[in-house]
Structure 1
Amino acid sequence: MNFPTNLAAVYDRIDQFDPEKYARSRNFITGGVSYLSPYLSRGFITVPQVVKRLKDRGIGLEQAEKFIQELAWREFYTRTWFQKGDAIFEDIRHPQEGIERFGIPRGVLESSTGIQALDGALKNFPDTGYLHNHLRMYLASTICNVAKYHWLEPAQWLYYHLLDGDLASNALSWQWCAGTFSNKLYYANQENINRYTGSHQRGTFLDFDYEDLPSQPVPDHLCRSVEASLPFTPPKTLPLELEADIPTFIYTHYTLDPTFHEGEAGNRILVLEPSHFAKHPMSPKTMEFILSLAENIPGIQIFYGEYADLNLKGIFRDHPINVHFQGTREAHPSLAPGLQGEFNSFFSYWNKLSRQLS
């Protein structure tokens, strides 16, 4: 799947998207998914913008409910990140049970898990930066619940390569699968994988009924643990040239909306903080994608350094990544900006949100 970085092409992708086909087929690897996640993760487009474009086509909540619900998952995860901060990188509700290993299975890095549908996708993953959501769930289930690894290091490895790497969506999805952000472990057996990927594999370590999967021994080839290498290459930058007496608009790799104060005079800076990437590195391919998206913002300059070192008070859109920024903080785009409080589960959030949307 190609991911163009031109705003007009992304808008066209939204306008061509069929939410009813999505509802019917989204669980299938070849299903009618939107391929919007890399742009949503980077704030290049926002959830309210997507819903508005659907409404402008006459598509309401009834037709698009399943898709809007998936967008709401993203908002739920972001809300959780706002509320809990770096605690999302720890077991958030319950300690993970049955951990026997840390690191990541060598078979994952070598695309040799023994599950053909996974291995075929993993072989191309570093080059594409994309995995269907169900493949991510199959992977997390296999690593955490079958091979009994702690979720954090595999999640960091996946985030490193994902074009749509969103720290909250990624970490909390892994925790949902591992049972630390949910009430039970998520398992995928071979029959389920075959159904949704179109494979026909039998006789694997996942080819059991669901009630029998937890009692199966860990396959030897998944016991070999390694530490994934996640080198970060800083972007090349030029010295900033800032005009006095005009505002400065600040962007991050999560808030790259070209319509943010569009057409207003101002300095525009994409701030990429070394302290952040030391903790959460990403691949050169993902950084290249981000910088290409930023080119849609006229006059934007790249600053690889700490925001505090700019010694200014910019104007920026609120996000968990920039809670320490000083300046004018504008509201994070949301489907229900007035919805207050913490929610213990997605569906308690969705029940209130859907009433407001309808």
Structure 2
Amino acid sequence: MLEPSLMKIALDAMGGDFAPEAPIMGAIHALRVFSDIQLILVGTEPTIKEIFYKKGGNAVEQRVEFLHASQVISMEDPAIESVRHKRDSSISKCVELVKNGKADAVVSAGNTGAVVAAATIFLRTLPGISRAGIASVIPTEKNPFILIDSGAIIDATPENLLDFGIMGSIYSKKILGVAHPRVGLLSIGTENIKGNELTRGAFKLLSKTHLNFVGNIEGRDLFENPVDVVVCDGFVGNVVLKTSESVATAIVRWLKREFSKNPVRILGALLAKGAFESVRKKTNYEEYGGALLLGIRGTCIIAHGSSTPKAICNAIRVAREALIQNVNHVIIEEIKTHHELIECQKSSSLPVA
């Protein structure tokens, strides 16, 4: 039986391009590193049990439970329909464990849309939050920044972006350790009149908060003059996320190709190996684990679809840190404070009858 004092994390053992091997190997490593967690591995039980013990799970088996799930939601399955019709899927059962109080957090590298849908349907959003947002950690030359929303909703409202700014700032403080996170609104110009109806409305709301809001930022600022929290809707955020990942991968590939063209360049590459390894590590998604779905009544980590065991282990680490820092409690308090402040400002600006 699992120890009640430990943090319980449900892991979707069937989620991801390299499942179930990668999630299970990542789980074993996480259990070796973090002595204060216990895991519930959810998936096709005979298969995941066999892999778990084959990969050396015997030493940590006292902090593991297995839960059978007869269905799997693939990356191609439609999100909401799959959650509704595949109630015995590994994703749904992981989230239901959190809903029923049998787990404190869920980690999945499976279908992102399905994870968001399951969390929203089964757990609902926190008080004061209408829509949840995915907070992805993006590396830069100096420090990483939070990109929120990076793919949860594409039909956001200014009020949603306000909440993303508040939640992203809390994430930056509590998980990344930034004392006074600078929050920027992603737009097509730095002037407050630039952008579309969504960003202009969000600008007005963010300007009324106690956040360290620096105003609009452009795409070129993301890496040249980065802020700590970048606020945008899920459509724009997902494009930024996927583009950033592909550019980083392409640059590494280009450099390898160029350095291999002649002996002199090969020698130069060997001399610069340490620098290249440092850059590779900094831009490697495996180091950051997964994205926290902020705004739901529970802790949910969405890992990269191509997560390796290392990435899964780090995703579990993020879940653990969110639980330790009690991020959801802080969000509830901060959302309430900022919403009351904005309402107060609206009331004071009303003309006297």
Scaled to the shorter chain, the TM-score interval is under 0.3
TM-score w.r.t. the length of structure 2 is 0.23
| Between structures 1 and 2, the one with greater helix share | 2
